[in-house]
Copies of this chain bind each other. A is one copy, B any other.
Amino acid sequence: MTKDIEHRLKNKDINLTAMRLLVLDFLTKQVAAISLNDLEKGMGPSDRITLYRTLKTFEEKGLVHSIEDGTGATKYALCEDNCDGDHHHDLHVHFYCNTCKETFCLPNTKIPEISLPKRFQSEEMNLIIKGICDQCHPD
């Protein structure tokens, strides 16, 4: 229902536009994180830069988070509800499948506490695990 999409934008203090509704709708349908290229191909004909800025806006407002999975292209995925622009609470592990080349959020797999050397102070953590995803698992 498009009303639901609208509410999600409003709740994050994002102005409604046709493009943003379409992008958010597209994002909710994804099972894996997507790159700007994926978004461009998945959407109808639309301007790449506008899509880029839409993702940036979504990220600033805490609607999506970005993932650097080492492929060179930044991936984006929807945030959990309690994220805002300043504090993303997506401290979960991200998984890159070497077989299907997809990047997944593992929202239930949290990054454990790490005890750093003296006087190192952690502000942010990013854990990427590469391997074989459940879909590509053999047997």
Contacts and interface: CB of A to CB of B under 8 A. Distances in A.
Interface of A: 68, 70, 93, 95, 98, 106, 108-109, 111-112, 114-134, 137
B124 A130 contact: yes
**Copies of chain A in the complex:** 2
B119 A134 contact: yes
Given A95-B120, A123-B98, A114 B134 contact: no
13 contacts: A93-B116, A106-B116, A112-B114, A114-B127, A116-B129, A119-B133, A119-B137, A120-B131, A121-B131, A122-B130, A123-B131, A124-B131, A125-B127
A127 B126 contact: yes
B130 A126 contact: yes
